[in-house]
Amino acid sequence: MSFNGDLNQFAAHVENKSNARVRRVALAAFQAINRASPVDKGTFRANWVIAVDTLDRSFDLSKDQKDWQETVSVGMAAITNGAKLGTTIYISNSVPYAIMLENGYSPQRPEGVVEPSITVIKNAIQSGRL
C-alpha cells in the first residue's frame, strides 16, 4: 500500500475510534441522567430527549413510567445513529418543573440530576474508564 493509502487508512481508523468514544460518552451521560431522575409518576424521567446538533424542547406531560423504556430506546438510537466527532449532543428535559428538580426540589435527588451526573461522567473520562 502507498503512503497516502496508509495515511488514509489510519485517518479512517482514528475517526472510527473517535466516533465510537463520542457515542460511548453520550450514552453513558444519557443513562446516568436518566437513572438519576426522581420518579413520582415517571413523567420527568420519560421526557428526556436526545437531539444531535439541534436542541429539542418538546415534552409530553401525558408520559409516565410506562413510557420510560421507549424514551431510553429513542435516545439510544439518536446517539447511535447521529453522534460523531464534531456534533453537539443535547440531552434535554423541558417539562415545566425540570429546573425545580435540578435545583433540588425532590427529596429523592436534593443534589439535582444533571450536574451530579455530568460530574460522574467527567471523572470516568479523566480516569480512563470511559
How is the chain split into domains, by residue range?
A: 3-126
Flag whether pLDDT at 70 surpasses 80.
yes
Flag whether pLDDT at 108 surpasses 90.
yes
Nearest to 30 by CA among 53, 50, 44: 50
Is residue 86 left, alpha or beta, with left meaning phi > 0 and alpha meaning psi from -120 to 50? Answer: left
Q: Chain centroid to CA 13: how far?
A: 24
pTM for the model stands at 0.89
Distance CA 35, CA 100 (A): 18
Length of the chain: 130
Is residue 54 left, alpha or beta, with left meaning phi > 0 and alpha meaning psi from -120 to 50? Answer: beta
pLDDT given at position 49: 96
Residue 44 · residue 100 · CB < 8 Å: no
Flag whether pLDDT at 3 surpasses 80.
no
Mean pLDDT of 95-102: 97
- 2-6, 25-29, 73-77, 106-110: least confidently modelled range: 2-6
Flag whether pLDDT at 107 surpasses 90.
yes
